[in-house]
Amino acid sequence: MPYNFRSYSPNAPWIQLNAGGDFILTSDGFLIDGSLHFAYPEARRLFFNSAGIIRFRHQKKFESIEYGLLNNSLNYRLNTRYIFQFRSHFLFGLNRWKDMNTVKHKLYDALIGDFSICQRLHYHPRYARTPIFGLGLCQSVYYIYSRGFKFQFGLLVHLGGEI
């Protein structure tokens, strides 16, 4: 993208591979998000990026695997070591119900739609190939036909790195 253009230098590689995972603890289970994407060098203090995401959801009554259809991240570099990140995801996935022997579920109960936003603070040194750590909050609204819309709030821990 043109706003990410920056000439090459050994301190600022042209592109880096960024891998990471979020563990989100909620009141009735947990979420695990995984992402892998190429990151361009930061040309400004405020920048956008987008990464694919896969989410595993573990709840008391069901589990699901979700894939991120729309994923956006607004990043603000606070200083040379820290970034504040605001992420939004729209995910779609499949459920596995734990009570299939006792409850009759409709066929469309196998589907889940999810919109979530997360705010987190990262230890992410600039122009360094290093582990990345972060803490934050995540809010999610998901929809399953038989349960309707449900809101979740969670505490987030991020672990990742740049190669």
Q: What is the CATH number of the domain that holds 89?
A: 2.40.160
Specify if 78 maps to a domain.
Answer: yes
Specify if 86 maps to a domain.
Answer: yes
Asked whether 158 and 132 are in contact (CB, 8 A), the reply is: yes
pLDDT reported for residue 7:
56
Look-up of token digits 């920056």:
6
Specify if 1 maps to a domain.
Answer: no
pLDDT reported for residue 149:
97
Specify if 141 maps to a domain.
Answer: yes
Say what the pTM is. Answer: 0.86
- Cα separation values, 44 from 3, 47, 81, 104, 113, Å: 8, 6, 15, 53, 34
Look-up of token digits 């122009």:
127
pLDDT reported for residue 1:
47
Number of domains observed in the structure of the chain: 1
Specify if 4 maps to a domain.
Answer: no
Range of the domain at 130: 20-162
**What are the pLDDT digits (tens) for 4-42?**
555 555 655 667 788 999 999 999 999 999 998 887 777
**What are the pLDDT digits (tens) for 120-162?**
999 988 877 889 999 999 999 999 998 899 999 999 999 998 8
**What are the pLDDT digits (tens) for 34-93?**
998 887 777 788 988 888 899 999 999 999 999 999 999 999 999 999 999 999 999 999
Specify if 156 maps to a domain.
Answer: yes
Specify if 29 maps to a domain.
Answer: yes
